[in-house]
Structure 1
Amino acid sequence: MAETTARPGLTPQQWDDQFFMEYVRDNRFKRYMGTDENAIIQLKDDLTRKPGDKVTFANVRKLKGNGVRGNQVLEGNEDELDSRSMTVTVNPIRNAVIVTDWDDQKSTIDLRNAGKTALKLWIMELMRDDTIAALYSINGVLYAVATEAQKDAWLVDNADRVLFGSAVGNNTGNDHSASLANIDNTADKLTCATVSLAKRRAQLASPAIKPIRLNEDEEWYVMFANSLSFRDLSNDAPMQQANREARAREGSAMNNNPLFTGGSLVWDGVIIREIPEIPYLPGVGAGGIQVGGNFLCGAQALGVAWAQRTKSTTDVRDYGFRTGVGVQEIRGIGKLLFGKGDDDTDDLVQHGVVTVYAAAVADA
């Protein structure tokens, strides 16, 4: 029986390397990804070098003891090193396209390039959507399928890192739905004051949410905001004044002013980044208004685990008449949650996220 040889021009390994790099660079969350503990989205690729279906993210809490002074005996008064862990499970993700020679009169390399473009866009969007779903999630459960009991239990443990509108007092007895119903379209839009409040909640939370460091003295948080809340923040008078009077005006720096570019906003040590794909919660606010989630993040807010990085696949069959090109990876992504109880899984808290629900009424 005759064997079919690979078509000329197909170089899978060369495409694999380029594909992965383009995929990460084009992702909306790309600039916040990194391999160290200072990254908002921490990447781990442990399983690319060894078998397994879970990657463990570790957390060591700060020491709480007072130590000893002078001639006091240290033996027997040592501090407890409180370490926590969370596992992220990885799963295969695959897709492919196939075209016949009859239906599409293209050369092999053109077909492969067309498939590469389409699949690159698909997997890039999937990573973005999975990231947003993880931010919204309730203790690892997708928000859309989480029960009211699960949402209330999550709120009990995360009351110091969940904000309903512009006031801490909008949290009604750790009842998730009742607290959402306190959000109105007058007082509870996303404003500069709300951003500052969310930042203070992050700093005062227990355990505190660690900002990312750009150098020894410069600390930042990043808030991922839905488009309607971003609109309200952009229209807030203090933000407009800050952009008008405090942002750089001369040279190339003028091109960075969001009054002209529509770029990220900056307020009180927080970078506010618009993510248009963040979905809304219709009808849950006061008077049935729409509410949107916004997520103020510090270091290690999310974890991404890789077991197999993005690679291309091909399938030639029917005597070369049908040519398929595919993509596959094995990864998982999750909001990092560490228990504050006696066990790693007791009383899970969001390690690096303050969830801010705000009014998000559609444009008239």
Structure 2
Amino acid sequence: MANTVAATGLTPQQWDDKYFLEYIQKNRFAKYMGKSAGSMIQVKEDLTKKKGDALTFALINRLTGAGVTGSTALEGAEEDMVSRSHALTVELYRNGVVVPEIEEQKSAIGLRNAARPVLMDWSMEHTRDLIITALASINGVAYGSASEGQKDAWLADNADRVLFGAAKSNNSGNDHSASLLNIDTTADRLTPDALSLMKRMALSASPKIRPIRVDGDREYYVVFAGVNTFRDLKTNTTITQAQREVTLRNQNNRLFQGGDIEWDGMIIREIPEITGYTGVGASTSDVAPVYLCGAQALGVGFAKRWGSKTETRDYGDKVGVAMRAIYGIDKLTFGSGAGDTDDLKQHGVVTGYFSDVADS
């Protein structure tokens, strides 16, 4: 009697699926990812089922008219339900390693497992870096590559959701570089008052930045800060007192992680990889960005999930192992002018710039 044996090709596919799940669960921003429009980082996988190099995120603006009353005719007085779109382009990303000769005798899955931890770390770091780059970007251009003209135009369109230091008055006529020069090393560090101002800006912006809803009724914004700005907030006496009461309460909050700070309906998380800009503040001081994020702050699009590839070379002496994915990450922006993509506004982010004083 012959036994049924699973085809060897099935095992690599099982491993590929498991890899993708762990990648999503373990990357630094995974807690904020989801497929709904209420997620901070909205994930779309439309292109996994069809061809194409871009997918579209849609926005339907809220109705602002007064409507009609009584016997007034509604016909002819209907309101335009304005829609906007953001196109996200995907790209092929990949990396690989060569398995040492001693691994040659192992099975295919054994070979992949030998390289798995290194490739896992790389994919998570890759996604983290793409997210941080997207948060800082100027209408799709990496911050460091954007011209002063591009930064000024972006600031003019997003003045209701960009804060320089402790006061809105630090914005010098929507001149980005001049506004950065108003940030000094004393008054313009990250404080609870500055965070609360960012929250009020989010709530009063047009369109308003929606908070993230947790457990049906509780609403939060999530704030990401670098090492020095997070330190300034964490050592603030107001925050020190407040945190004595919130840590235990937040143990079951899915947005909260150990070491986070809660303040005024915001959860603040330290991201060491968010780095500052050298010499752009007052007296050539350093400045660092801080990002307050609500729903649909960023979009992630997948055309192909992370998957493995192997290659045998040198007459079978060496085996290469690689991981690859086709995906993209953008800060979601929607037009606020007459045309669909005119006068782009970052949909779910308030960007703050604060003094970035290093430890002495």
TM-score, structure 1 normalization: 0.92
Looking at structure 2, the residues matched to 86 and 233 of structure 1 have their Cα atoms a distance apart, in angstroms, of 34
1:39-188 to 2 correspondence within 5 Å? 39-101=39-101, 107-108=106-107, 109-188=109-188
Counterpart position of 2:234: 234
Partner letter of residue 247 of structure 1? V
Q: 1:274 aligns with which of 247, 270, 292?
A: 270
Return closer, same or farther for 1:178/1:248 CA change in 2, 3 Å cut-off. closer
Counterparts in 2 of 1:230-309, with a 5 A limit? 230-244=230-244, 246-247=245-246, 263-309=259-305
TM-superposed CA distance for 1:172, in Å, is: 0.5
Shift of 1:11: 3.0
**Aligned equivalents of 2:246 and 2:274: distance in 1?**
27
User: Tell me, what secondary structure is at the counterpart of 1:154?
Assistant: helix
What 5-or-longer segments of structure 2 have no aligned partner? Answer: 1-7
Aligned-CA RMSD value:
2.2
2 CA distance for matches of 1:77 and 1:249?
53
How many equivalent residue pairs? Answer: 351
C-alpha distance in 2, partners of 1:268/1:99?
51
Question: Is 1:338 the equivalent of 2:338?
Answer: no
C-alpha offsets along residues 158-215 of structure 1, whole Å, 9 cap, x if unaligned? Answer: 0000000110000001010110111111111111001100000000101111111114
Residue 66 of structure 1: how far off its partner (Å): 0.8
Q: Which amino acid aligns with 2:173?
A: G
Residue 287 of structure 1: CA displacement? 1.1
- Structure 2 CA distance for aligned equivalents of residues 213 and 97 of structure 1: 42
Equivalent-residue separation in structure 2 for 1:289 and 1:248 (angstroms): 34
Amino acid in structure 2 at the alignment position of 1:93: Y
Deviations 1:250-300 (A, max 9, x none): 9x969x9x9xx9611000001101111112101111111111111000000
Once residues 311 and 77 of structure 1 are traced to their aligned partners in structure 2, the CA distance between those partners, rounded to angstroms, is: 53
Pair 1:363-2:359 in alignment: yes
Shift of 1:10: 9.0
Whether the 8 Å CA contact 1:100–1:321 is kept in 2: the answer is no
Does structure 1 retain, via aligned residues, the 8 Å contact 2:222–2:269?
yes
Deviation at 1:360, TM superposition (A): 1.0
Mapped contact 2:99–2:114 kept (Cα < 8 A): no
1:20 matched residue in structure 2: 20
AA matched with 1:107: K
> 2-side partners of 1:213 and 1:286: how far apart?
38
Amino acid at match of 2:106: S
Partner in structure 2 of residue 200 of structure 1: 200
Is 1:220 matched up with 2:216?
A: no
Secondary structure at the aligned position of 1:280 is classed as coil
Task: Measure the CA separation in 2 of the matches of 1:40 and 1:342.
Answer: 27
Deviation of 1:12 (Å): 1.6
